[in-house]
Structure formats: C-alpha cells, structure tokens
A and B are shown apart, each in its own frame.
Chain A
Amino acid sequence: MTIRNLLLAATALALGGPAWAQSAPTITPQPVVPTAPAPAPAVDDDGGLSGTVSDEAAWQDLGIAITAFATDQDLPTQTNAGTTASLGRALSDVISGDLRNNGLFKPSGPSGLPQPAYPQVQSPDYPVWSARSAEMLVQGYVRQNTDGTLTIGCYLYDVQLKQQLVKGGWQVGPADWRRAAHKCSDMVYSRLSGESPFFDSKIAYIAETGPKNRRMKRLAIMDSDGANHRYLTSGQATALTPRYSPDYKQILYLSYLNGNPRIYVYDLSTNQQRLITANSYPTFAPRWSPDGKWILYSMAIAGNTDIYKISSAGGGTPVKLTDSPGLDVGGSFSPDGSKIVFESDRSGSQQVYVMNADGSDQKRISFFGGRAATPEWSPRGDQIAFTHIAGNLRVGVMSPGGGSMRHLTDSWQDEAPTWAPNGRIIQFFRTEKNSGKTSIWQVDLTGRNERRLQTPADASDPAWGPIQP
C-alpha cells in the first residue's frame, strides 16, 4: 500500500534518464507509437463514480483535455487494467472521472481525443489542442519496471501559454495504480483551484440492505471515487458509524456483536477487532483525535450519556469530559486537537457546544433555532458542519463561534456530514421518506454542486479519511 512520490527527484520525469529508474533495463525509453487507440480496459465496471452536477453555472468552465497516458512498451501488467497501454487509458479515465465528478471541471477525453505518442508526452502538439479549444491539457505516461511496479508520470499544460504548469511522478505497486491516477487528479486540481488535494483518500461507510425494520448493516470501505469497494463485516451484527484512523490502519465503529452496542477498533492489516472499553456499558459515536492518539466516545451509564476520551493504544484510563444530566453525545476535534465540538441536550434540546480538549470551558454555540446535531470540525478549522433539525433534517455549516449558519442541503432527511480532507466538500447521507432507503451524497460549500455517490447497496454514515501521503 505504499506509493513512492517521485515528485522531488532531481531530474523528475525527464524521459531521457529519470533518476528513479536506474534499475530499469531501459534507461533510454523506446518510444512506441500506438497505431490505434488502445482498447478501453474494463475499469468502468469496478465501481468508479458517476453522477450529475446540479448547477455548474457558477464554476469556472475550464476546458481540460485529458489524453490516454502513453507507454514506452505495451507489456502485460499485474494490474486489473490489462497491458501498459490499456492501463494508460484506464489512468486517464480515472483522472477524467475525478475532475468531472467534483463539479469544478468539464474535462474531455480520453475518448474522442488524439492519443499522444510516448515522445509527445513532454512536448505537446499545441496547435492540435488549440484547434480543439482546449485550454488545459493533461498528458502522462506509464512504464512497467522489472519488479512489476509501475512508474506513472503526469503533466499539466496550459495550451494558450504553450507552457507546462506542473508535473508529477509516482512509483506504485500493481494494486495501487488507481492511487497514481488520483495523485495526478490532485495535482491538477490543486494547481488550477489553489485548494489542497483530496482525491487520494478513502471512505468508510455502512452498506444497508433489506426492509426498513430488518436492515442489514455492514461495515464497508471504498476509495474516494467509489472504486476498490470492500465489505469488512458480514452483516450478522448491525454495524454503525465507522471512522477511519488518520493513518488508515484502523477503523472505529459501533457493532451490536454480542447484543449490545459497543465501539470496536477494527485493524485492517489483521482483520481483528477489539473493544475500546473494559466495562460493559454501551459505547457509541466514536471519533479519532487528529493525531490518532485519542479515541473520543460517548458512553451511557444508568441512562445518562457523557463524552469520554481514551488512549487509542489501548489499556488506558478513560477521561470523562462532560458531566451534565443531559445527553452529551458525539464530538469532533478541532484540527489542532485543542478543542472539541459536541452536541448536548442539557438546554432541553440538542444543541452544539465547544469545549477544550480536557473538557473545560464548555460553551453552547448554536442559537439559530431548531435542533443542531452531529457537529464535525472542518480539517481547515474554519467551519463546523452539522445536522440542523427544524422540521426536516438538513446539512449546514457555521463558524466555530456559531455564526454565519448556512444550509447546504434541502431535502427530507440529510444528516451526519463528514468533510473531504481539504475541507471544501462535505459528504452526508440522505434517507428517503417512508421507504427508509439511504444513500451517500456530497455537496460543495456553495450548496449548488450536489451529487449522489454510486454504491453497490444503500449507504449511510459516510466517514471521509485524510489525504494519503
């Protein structure tokens, strides 16, 4: 699962003699000019997202051409995308999907576009792209190394300026080829938008099937674009509210295993799990601290729920953070770990409060009417996303002081927002009236670009993990 970032290599991506490819048999690439477009690999079937953008009018409508990545030699690979030529096409398909689905861009290609030959990757045929009214051009290459790993390069060009804007290169194992595509998407997105990257990240969520009163709920994970989908639990015990650890090695979630709702830590490398508390009280609403050292959770004793934290290493003594007769639930650390935003009904209804990470100085911040629940601190620190309950349930954002409240969604029941790693997009889940069917959606901070994520089954409780290194 490692990805080697070659961006910093001194002679990065010089096709004539890349520093990282010294072990490769061919230092000098042998350009292979494809005589025909490579056939589309079967990557369309492995879960990539599709979706519609409800309103693009306000977004810059950059024309980005994304070409099939070239290869020096069309070799069989250990990937699920076929030969290196097929893989080149698949890489650009993933990049095109990433950039299209976030609502920012309307990329074209790789279908219907000329396919640059290997030597053209670093010297684009600008007049061709100019004639096609492309403003931006993404080109790249894929090479297979002797050990089966892949070296993937990605270039962004400004067609009008006839200038390379940014480039990147990554060496990945065969199973991680999509990550290189996401890294390329992130590089292009960051260069053009000025925002931090978010595509190379994963989502944990709950997959739901069955009738409303007997829902089977399974812990599941997928990449940010819906690919590499995997179920982690069988569904025999109801699973709820997962959270990826900041290093993606573990998942906190609630399970009714053995009959009672308790929080478990699921280890992704061993597929083993353990309880986070030694007592038998019900525990729920698990969260990680940003550094992964603490687990925040809610625990009910004799009907009263309070918020606690405990060392994620296990075996530590829980620290009780709240002590009100009301229900104190959930919680989310500020990015610097110094504060916690949580919900409490101590005032008579669910409202959002902020406290220091040691539990001191608890202050209510939501005063705009209705109930306010499931607060989540933005990774940028500037906003808190939450569920506003006033008739319907809607996702909203407010400042950490409780001001500037805005609704981002307007449906019958939208709840449980989770932030993209860059704090620019929010995922949440939507429940249909009567049927109880659930689905994961995402919306940007304007509230205008809203789309549904395609999942194999109904889906709820999304938890977006951080950007991968």
Chain B
Amino acid sequence: MIGRTKTGAAVCLLAGSLAMAACASKAPKQLPPEPTGVATQTDDGANRIIPGSQADFVQQMAGQDTIYFDTDKYNIDSVDAAALQTQAQWLMKYPAKRATVEGHADERGTRDYNLALGERRANSAKNYLVSLGVDASRVTTVSYGKERPIALGSDEESWAKNRRAVTVTID
C-alpha cells in the first residue's frame, strides 16, 4: 500500500539535517555511500579501504546492503533479489567473511510484534542469500523491531525507509 523506497543511498540525504546528523553519528558501516563520486570524493579515503572489509562491502553495495519491505510484509521482490545477489557475490568472493542481517520495522506497530516481524524480515533476506549459495553458518540475524529507525519522521516516507533488512559484514 505504500510506495517503496528503493533508493537506499538517498535515505540519509532525504531525511533532513537532523537525520544527517543522526546518520553521521551512527556506526558508519551501516551507511550506504553516496551514489556518485565515490571514486573521486577522497582518493586518500578510497585508498584506505581494505578489500573484503565492511567498508569495502558498503562501498561495493552502493546502497544495496539494505532491502525494504511493505507494511507487515517480508517477501523478497525483484529489487530486493537484485540487491541480495550483489551481496551474495561479494560474500562468495570473500568466503571467510561472516555477516549479520539486521531486521527492522517501522514505528507504527506494537513493540513485541515488531520484534517478531524484524526477525522474519532478517531471515527472509538470509534465506535468499543462502539460496544463492552463501553458507548458512556464515549469516546470523538480529531483530531490532522498531528500536532503531534510520529515518526519524512520522510519515509514510520515513516508515518505508525503516521497514528494512540491512546486511552488515563482520570485520
């Protein structure tokens, strides 16, 4: 029922200055990079990224480390599938790396149910990665329910950004 936000990279850009500050203070490993100018923004910075690291994963994914869901839903659509394929390729390239899929819900639900829903979404993403050949033992899940929103507004646009599963690799 709600238009889905597939431009994960724009999440922090669109959410206003408050969200920018909040995003900046959050663990940077969870942030999608800006979609353009990655290679040119800071050559020094680019040089420091170690292949196979979480920083490398975030850079390579270019926003596709996160997939989004409709209200109360947990199915993988074609956009999600493409993102998870990109994630799986990276994970297959670095077979020693482990990852956690974090499942989240928007604020418009009750706390306990949202914990269950976040777990279901994280497992949905994990199961798809496994179906693409990633060893199940390499991927764990954690649900944050509605406890860790990335977009801070109380509107459809923010809620769409918060109904998400984020893959984070473990350095």
CA distance A302 to B124 in the complex (A): 9
Q: Are A393 and B111 in contact (CB under 8 A)?
A: no
Is the CB of A431 closer than 8 A to any CB of chain B? yes
Is the CB of A251 closer than 8 A to any CB of chain B? no
Query: Which range contains the number of A residues in contact with the other chain?
Result: 35 or more
Is the CB of B154 closer than 8 A to any CB of chain A? yes
Interface of B is mostly: mixed
Contacts of B122 in A (CB 8 A): 303
Is the CB of B52 closer than 8 A to any CB of chain A? no
Q: Name B41-58 residues within 8 Å CB distance of A.
A: none
Is the CB of B31 closer than 8 A to any CB of chain A? no
**CB-contact partner of B110 in A212, A261, A415, under 8 A:** A415
Q: Are B153 and A434 in contact (CB under 8 A)?
A: yes
Contacts of A416 in B (CB 8 A): 110-111
Contacts of B156 in A (CB 8 A): none
Q: Are A298 and B120 in contact (CB under 8 A)?
A: no
Is the CB of B135 closer than 8 A to any CB of chain A? no
Contacts A261-B143, A304-B120; is A241 near B112 (CB within 8 Å)? yes
Type the 1/0 row for B109-153, where 1 means its CB is closer than 8 Å to any CB of A. Answer: 111110111011011100100000000000001110101111011
Whole-angstrom distance between the Cβ of A346 and the nearest chain B Cβ: 12
Contacts of B153 in A (CB 8 A): 434
Whole-angstrom distance between the Cβ of A330 and the nearest chain B Cβ: 5
Contacts A300-B116, A327-B116; is A434 near B154 (CB within 8 Å)? yes
Q: Name A338-384 residues within 8 Å CB distance of B.
A: 343, 345, 349-350, 373-374
CA distance A216 to B111 in the complex (A): 16
Contacts of A285 in B (CB 8 A): 112, 115
Residue of B nearest to A285 (CB): B112
Whole-angstrom distance between the Cβ of A35 and the nearest chain B Cβ: 56
CA distance A329 to B72 in the complex (A): 14
Whole-angstrom distance between the Cβ of B162 and the nearest chain A Cβ: 10
Is the CB of B22 closer than 8 A to any CB of chain A? yes
Q: Are A213 and B116 in contact (CB under 8 A)?
A: no
Contacts of B26 in A (CB 8 A): 213-214
Q: Are B110 and A393 in contact (CB under 8 A)?
A: yes
Contacts of B141 in A (CB 8 A): 303
CA distance A454 to B124 in the complex (A): 42
CA distance A436 to B107 in the complex (A): 9
CA distance A433 to B148 in the complex (A): 16
Q: Are A461 and B111 in contact (CB under 8 A)?
A: yes
Is the CB of A463 closer than 8 A to any CB of chain B? no
Contacts of B108 in A (CB 8 A): 389, 393, 413
Contacts of A224 in B (CB 8 A): none
CA distance A303 to B148 in the complex (A): 19
Q: Are A373 and B113 in contact (CB under 8 A)?
A: yes
Q: Are A387 and B116 in contact (CB under 8 A)?
A: no
Q: Are B142 and A259 in contact (CB under 8 A)?
A: yes
Contacts of A235 in B (CB 8 A): none
Q: Name A205-234 residues within 8 Å CB distance of B.
A: 211-215, 217
**CB-contact partner of A343 in B72, B113, B115, under 8 A:** B113
Task: Name B's A-contacting residues (CB within 8 A).
Answer: 22, 25-26, 72, 74, 107-113, 115-117, 119-120, 122-124, 127, 141-143, 145, 147-150, 152-154
Task: Name A's B-contacting residues (CB within 8 A).
Answer: 211-215, 217, 238, 240-241, 254, 259-261, 282, 284-285, 298, 300, 302-305, 327, 329-330, 343, 345, 349-350, 373-374, 387, 389, 393, 412-413, 415-416, 431, 433-434, 436, 461
